Chains A and B, each alone.
Chain A
Amino acid sequence: EIVLTQSPATLSLSPGERATLSCRASQSVNSYLAWYQQRPGQAPRLLIYDASNRATGIPARFSGSGSGTDFTLTISSLEPEDFAVYYCQQSSDWPLTFGGGTKVEIK
C-alpha cells in the first residue's frame, strides 16, 4: 500500500499569507496525485489533479507541483474561505490512498 504523509498537520496563517502544504509518498506515484479541500460539514472538493492541473472552477491562487514521491500544494494568498482541511490522494496503484490531511487554520 502506498502511504501518503502530509505535513504539517496544522498550518496557522493569516489571510493574505502564502500557504505551502507537503505530501510525500512512500513510493513513486508518478504524477497520479490529487489534492482536495474539505470545509467543515461539507464534502471534499477536487482542487488539483495529476499533480499540477487545476480542476474546473478552481481559482488560480491554488497551484500544485511535484512528481514521483514529493508534492506541494501552494495557496498564493489565503482568502477567508480557504481555511479548511486539505488532503492529497494517489491513484497510481490499488488501494487508492489518502494522506492524513493538513488543517489550515486562522492565526
Chain B
Amino acid sequence: EVQLLESGGGLVQPGGSLSLSCAASGFTFSNYGIHWVRQAPGKGLQWVSTISGSGDNTYYADSVKGRFTISRDNSKNTLYVQMNSLSAEDTAVYYCAKGYSSGWSGTFDIWGQGTMVTVSS
C-alpha cells in the first residue's frame, strides 16, 4: 500500500524554526516528485513546495521562499522541510503529497494524514 506519514509538527514561537518529515512506503520513492501542501485552520489548500525525484530541482511558493528548505533522502524514503523565521501566518496542517506519475507531476494522488504546526507565543 502506498503511504505517506508526516511527523514533526508542534507548537513553536514566532521567529522560531521547525523541521517536518514525511516517511514514504509502498512505491519507488526516488521516481516521484513530492510536494508539501498546507491548510490553515478553516481555510483552503495552499501549495508550499516541490522537490523532484532526484532532489535536483526545488520550487517554493513566494510566501515561504527564503525561509523554507525542502529536501529528501532517497536512501531513507523520506522527505523533509526545514522551516525558519516562522510567523502566525504559517500556522496550518502540513501535508506531504506524492506526484501522480513518475518523473514530473503537479497532481497529488496520495496524501499523508497531515501534521499540525502552530506558531504562537
What interface size band does chain B fall in? 20 to 34
Q: Which residues of A contact B113 (CB under 8 A)?
A: 43
B43 smallest CB distance to A (angstroms): 9
B107, A89: Cβ atoms closer than 8 Å: yes
Q: Count A-side interface residues using an 8 Å CB cutoff.
A: 24
Q: Which of B92-121 contact A (CB under 8 A)?
A: 95, 100, 105-114
Q: Which of A36-57 contact B (CB under 8 A)?
A: 36, 38, 43-46, 49-50, 55-56
A44, B111: Cβ atoms closer than 8 Å: yes
B107, A45: Cβ atoms closer than 8 Å: no
A87, B45: Cβ atoms closer than 8 Å: yes
Q: Which residues of B contact A36 (CB under 8 A)?
A: 45, 108
Interface Cβ pair total, 8 Å cutoff: 58
Q: Which residues of A contact B61 (CB under 8 A)?
A: 95
Q: Which residues of A contact B95 (CB under 8 A)?
A: 43-44
* Complexed CA–CA distance, A44 and B46 (Å): 12
Of A61-69, A73-81, A96-104, which binds chain B? Answer: A96-104
**B contact face: mostly helix, strand, loop, or mixed:** strand
A46, B46: Cβ atoms closer than 8 Å: no
Question: Given that A95-B61, A96-B50 are known contacts, is A89 also in contact with B45, CB under 8 Å in the complex?
Answer: yes
B113 smallest CB distance to A (angstroms): 6
B45 smallest CB distance to A (angstroms): 4
A49, B47: Cβ atoms closer than 8 Å: no
A96's partner among B62, B106, B110, B111 (CB-CB below 8 A) is: B106
Q: Which residues of A contact B44 (CB under 8 A)?
A: 87, 98-101
Q: Which residues of B contact A87 (CB under 8 A)?
A: 44-45
B114's partner among A32, A43, A90, A95 (CB-CB below 8 A) is: A43
B92 smallest CB distance to A (angstroms): 13
B: which residues have CB within 8 A of A? 35, 37, 44-47, 50, 59, 61-62, 95, 100, 105-114
The 6 closest A-B pairs by CB, nearest first: A91-B106, A43-B111, A96-B47, A98-B45, A34-B107, A49-B107
Could you list 23 A-B pairs, sorted by A, with CB under 8 Å? A32-B106, A34-B107, A34-B108, A38-B45, A43-B95, A43-B114, A44-B37, A44-B45, A44-B95, A46-B107, A49-B100, A87-B44, A89-B47, A89-B108, A91-B105, A95-B59, A95-B61, A96-B35, A96-B50, A96-B106, A98-B45, A99-B44, A101-B44
